[in-house]
Amino acid sequence: MFLTISTTGTQERPATDLGFLLHKHPDKAQAFSTSYGTAHVLYPEAGPERCTAALLLEVDAVALVRRGKGKGRGGAPDAALAQYVNDRPYAASSLLAVALSGVFSSAMRGVCDARPDRAAEPLPLRIEVPALPARGGAALVRALFEPLGWTVTADPVPLDAEFPQWGDSRYVRLVLESRALTLAAALRHLYVLLPVLDDAKHYWVSSDEVDKLLRAGEGWLSDHPEQHLITSRYLSRRWSLTRQARERLELVRLAETDDSEVEAIDNAVASETEEAERPTPLAVLRREAILAALGESGAARVLDLGCGQGQLVQALLKDVRFTEIVGVDVSMRALTIASRRLKLDRMGERQAARVKLFQGSLAYTDNRLAGYDAAVLSEVIEHLDLPRLPALEYAVFGAARPRTVVVTTPNVEYNVRWESLPAGHVRHGDHRFEWTRAEFQRWSGAVAARYGYGVGFRPVGPDDPEVGPPTQMAVFALDTAVSGTTQNIAKEERTA
């Protein structure tokens, strides 16, 4: 297993600086023992104009198998014969990536005390891997490296040079060239993409692999067009790890996204929901109706449960009657967008003291939700599977128990009035159900009775004589006669 890294230079900026960047002296051949064999670093050429470092990994295939690490994907042992006659010693693979990170760890982090300026700047690089196992072929090799700024040559290696009629092996001879990358970036690309192309990780993938992947992927993986394939293969297709990695990469991407893009996301979302129709979008009418109901209830401390991207929180913040506003959502992505919309990081201290966002699921009771005047569930209940709904009912009406609860949900009867909505379809792909007015009123009545609330209903949007309004709203008020003295005192204080 063999890989070379070359650079070019001048008398003033000699190519041999590569030795400083790699923390390996060009005049010495060095050997390092790794868990799979011995890694050698040597310099076939080292002059001011041209310098090449070679990393050669001598793998002990038998030791590899004996150590129990010669397992195929998913940890299942390969067939006995395959274990001894495997290609690990000969082909660049995930083992080479492991050696790379072991032997060049400082270089990978971009650390170079001797030549700090050179470590931070791009340099002319040529990397060659004579035999790279590439599941997906030369086309995938290009799709992985080209978006990162590499010029890629990937020549398929014939199965047997003397018998071209046997066709190509699954190996390519890879040459990468670039003048735009730092050495650290180049090494991090290889560290991730060699095992991705090999697609046969030799060791059991554990959850710290996600951290390793994100560290090595910093600055390039979050917007790589093949990000899905890379995360999935790197993490040996372990779904929970892959999902974790993608969620974290998405946060990285959002953090790098500027506000105009957040607005663009909003606009796209708005135009997806046909509710963005003129003159006044239904979403705006809904917020106005909710603000009115909250105002009438006299609430000052308000929960926005399933706050999504924070539009209602933003409207509540503009109204001084609301002294404390808490947005809760299960989606980190939504919360990240909400916090950027609200500009939480740039907010003055007094405003910031009024608002809080946190992640939580409404399907579980949560002490942090107790003690508020009012809670809003705006277009949220229909996102829960019906069997999960009683859990939310208990968490909100039974445990958190605010004096007022405002719930909105689509009125399915109105769907025939949406011109662009095909018959029988719900308004949003994630809606698990949409109710008629009778169904919503039946549910609300039952919840109110079970938890000691009174409930009234209001239309939101044009109230069609036949099919009713597009959005239906229920306003629950804690029935103080039923629920005991504390609430009575609170109510008396309020009316006094």
Distance of alpha carbon 166 from the chain centroid: 44
Give the SS3 label for residue 169: strand
- Number of residue whose CB is nearest ligand SAH: 308
Please state the closest distance from residue 315 (CB atom) to ligand SAH, in A.
Answer: 11
- For residues 86 and 77, is the Cβ–Cβ distance under 8 A? no
Please state the closest distance from residue 339 (CB atom) to ligand SAH, in A.
Answer: 14
| Beta strands per DSSP E along 221-368 | 301-305, 324-329, 355-359
| CB closer to ligand SAH, 270 vs 300 | 270
Which is it for strands 30-34 and 125-133: parallel, antiparallel or unpaired? unpaired
Please state the closest distance from residue 271 (CB atom) to ligand SAH, in A.
Answer: 15
| CB closer to ligand SAH, 98 vs 384 | 384
| CB closer to ligand SAH, 52 vs 471 | 471
In this structure, the chain runs to a length of: 496
| CB closer to ligand SAH, 159 vs 251 | 251
Look up residue 270 and give its DSSP letter: H
* Tokens describing residue 291: 């603000």
* Distance in angstroms (rounded) separating the CA atoms of residues 251 and 274: 27
Please state the closest distance from residue 309 (CB atom) to ligand SAH, in A.
Answer: 7
Backbone phi and psi for residue 465, each to the nearest 5 degrees, phi listed first? -60, -30
Please state the closest distance from residue 392 (CB atom) to ligand SAH, in A.
Answer: 7
| CB closer to ligand SAH, 171 vs 440 | 440
Give the SS3 label for residue 220: coil
* Distance in angstroms (rounded) separating the CA atoms of residues 150 and 186: 9
* Tokens describing residue 338: 């909400």
- For residues 325 and 338, is the Cβ–Cβ distance under 8 A? no
| CB closer to ligand SAH, 417 vs 432 | 432
Please state the closest distance from residue 457 (CB atom) to ligand SAH, in A.
Answer: 18
Q: At what angle do helices 227-234 and 183-198 cross, to 10 degrees?
A: 70
* Tokens describing residue 4: 């070379």
| CB closer to ligand SAH, 57 vs 395 | 395
| CB closer to ligand SAH, 126 vs 428 | 428
Binding site for ligand SAH (CB under 6 A): 306-308, 311, 329-331, 334, 361-363, 378-380, 383-384
- Would you list the DSSP string of 133-147? E-TTHHHHHHHHHGG
Please state the closest distance from residue 420 (CB atom) to ligand SAH, in A.
Answer: 19
Q: Residue written as tokens 């109110």?
A: 448
Please state the closest distance from residue 475 (CB atom) to ligand SAH, in A.
Answer: 16
